[in-house]
A and B are shown apart, each in its own frame.
Chain A
Amino acid sequence: VTSPFLYLIRSLLVIIYLLLMVAFYTVLERKIIAYMQRRTGPNVVGPFGSLQAFADALKLLVKKTLYPQSSDLMIFVTGPLITFTFSFLTWSVIPFHSGSSFSNNNYSLLYVLAFSSLSLYGLIVGGWASNSKYAFFGIIRAIAQMISYEVSLGLILFCLVCCTGTLNITGMVNAQLNNWYVFPHLPLFFLFVISAFAETNRHPFDFAEAESELVSGYNTEYGAVLFVLFFLAEYANMILMSTLISLFFLGGWLCPFFPEYSSGFFLALKTFLIMNVFVIVRASYPRIRYDQLMEFCWKTILPFTLAWFVFVVLMLKFLDACPPVGGPLETFPDFVANYSYFKELYPAVDNFNLELPFELVDLEVRLIEIDDLVKKKEVVDEALIKEATSLINYLWGISL
């Protein structure tokens, strides 16, 4: 996408579809839980109650926003905004098909981790600014829980990165072409799912808003629009986690057995399945105890993941199966190559479309110049080729 207008439309479409997804996900959740408990669930608004979410949203949006008298008002309002912004911003690096994310860069995995740690601040400052004991206990629990599980989440992901050789999510999915990571890393898959539950504060780990103890946890004092923002962020995070699970472990958009039919449809299908797991787990399991949760993270998941990490690295080393640095070469299929001539010599040069450091722009300009010269003349000048080759090697080395 080149035109800024198209870019805007595309990003709006993603946001609108995400909001719709959240809306219908809440209805789906209520329906599934209702049927598991032999109730009917919402069945008045729309066919089979499917439009219930819009009625709820309308009700919440026309309500008057109340602010606690003793709250720090500016921080109180900023909290939900931060959470909402970052939980939606993370989708800018999530690819829906090979290389079709907004920002297909070499570090998209790190972007996901960074945004997830930033979105935590919305909860923290929101819960603190409420100036209520319930909200305060809610966020204290939420911080401890999310920090602990982010560690194990990151470690699990870096086991996969060792097998892929890239931090690019598209590359990580393309590396699963022949073997989804759920098979060689089966224990990690389960640990990742559990960590995802804890990371999104979902049942059976929903201590941040344990109704029986803390009224509603960190969002006790929030109502109307601000509550909607928290709510949307929470569910968007759940959908994000399901997407990440299907991208990292279930092959993302890859079609099983017939890779030529791979499309976003398969990503949607897998994500939908994992989303259902989130709901079914909520309806099935009671809330566990808080100390059990912490012990499970620090004494079970973390040591196991560390051991697995060492195991993976040693296996890769001794079986001589280390992945190519920079990941599989088909990582950047959608990039238009600037260096058409040298691209044939160096397929990996596609990576140069990533933004180079400011000091290296001159070198890049020189490379484009040589590329143009060679193309125009159609006569290969040895000195030029030599210069370009050294430039490519230099830039390629740095861009790693």
Chain B
Amino acid sequence: MNFLTTNILFIAFATNLIASCFLTIFAINAINALIALIFAFVNVSLIFLLMGLEFLGLVFIIVYVGALAVLFLFAVMLFNLKSTIRVKTKTFIIKSLIGLISIYIFYLLIFTYHIIMY
């Protein structure tokens, strides 16, 4: 695969990944959220495969998608979903604080990766 194909594929997988992560968070139906989560797992492993980390990507699918997510689905399917109510406790400030902290941690992650690489 040449550089361009790799980049295009990476952008496609990464877009899918982000989109399915958002779907996971915002889906009203729990099963739809889980299916989106599984799609996210698959996209992560596709990105691993694209990086040449074949073993990691395949084990990621086998462990997360093949075992973990199936158990999630199994559990969620047995709930009575209509009786679950969305609990609203966290205020907007706490939410945005958590968001900022996670963005900062993600930034640190990328920054340290660059230090290691170069």
Contact = CB atoms under 8 A, between A and B. Distances in A.
B70 A111 contact: no
A110 interface: yes
B70 A124 contact: yes
Interface stretch (B18-26, B57-65, B86-94): B57-65
Given A114-B61, A117-B65, A140 B74 contact: yes
Nearest to B50: A358
Contacts of A118: 42, 61, 65-66
B52 A355 contact: yes
Contacts of B79: none
B53 interface: yes
B35 A125 contact: yes
A357 interface: yes
B77 A147 contact: no
B113 interface: no
Contact of B31 (A120, A128, A150): A128
Contacts of B73: 124, 143
Interface of A is mostly: helix
A30 B59 CA distance: 39
Nearest to B52: A357
- Residue among B38, B42, B58, B73 having the largest count of chain A Cβ atoms under 10 Å: B58
A170 to B, nearest CB: 16
Nearest to B6: A358
Interface in B48-105: 51-55, 58-59, 61-62, 65-67, 70-71, 73-74, 77-78
A356 interface: yes
A113 interface: yes
B55 A107 contact: yes
Interface residues of A, number: 27
A357 B51 contact: yes
A357 B67 CA distance: 27
B40 to A, nearest CB: 13
Contacts of B1: 355
Nearest to A360: B52
B62 to A, nearest CB: 5
B105 to A, nearest CB: 24
Interface residues of B, number: 25
B62 A356 contact: no
Interface string A102-126: 0001110011011001101100110
Interface in A45-69: none
A199 to B, nearest CB: 12
Interface string A326-364: 000000000000000000000000000001111010000
B62 A117 contact: yes
Contacts of A19: none
A358 B52 contact: yes
A75 interface: yes
B67 A147 contact: yes
A133 to B, nearest CB: 12
A150 B6 CA distance: 33
B51 A114 contact: no
A110 B67 contact: no
Contact of A105 (B54, B67, B74): B54
Contacts of B62: 110, 113-114, 117, 154
A155 to B, nearest CB: 13
Nearest to B67: A147
A105 B65 CA distance: 22
A144 to B, nearest CB: 8
B66 A143 contact: no
Interface string A123-135: 0110010000000
Contacts of A136: 77
B35 to A, nearest CB: 6
Contacts of B52: 355-358, 360
Nearest to B117: A359
B49 to A, nearest CB: 9
Contact of A110 (B6, B51, B53, B59): B59
A358 B51 CA distance: 6
Given A128-B77, A143-B73, A358-B6, A150 B66 contact: yes
29 contacts: A75-B32, A107-B54, A107-B55, A107-B58, A111-B58, A113-B58, A113-B66, A114-B58, A114-B61, A114-B62, A114-B65, A117-B66, A117-B67, A120-B66, A120-B70, A121-B38, A124-B73, A125-B35, A128-B31, A140-B77, A143-B73, A143-B74, A150-B66, A355-B1, A355-B52, A356-B52, A357-B51, A357-B52, A360-B52
Given A106-B54, A358-B51, 5 more contacts: A110-B55, A111-B58, A114-B62, A140-B77, A140-B78
Interface of B: 1, 6, 31-32, 35, 38, 42, 51-55, 58-59, 61-62, 65-67, 70-71, 73-74, 77-78
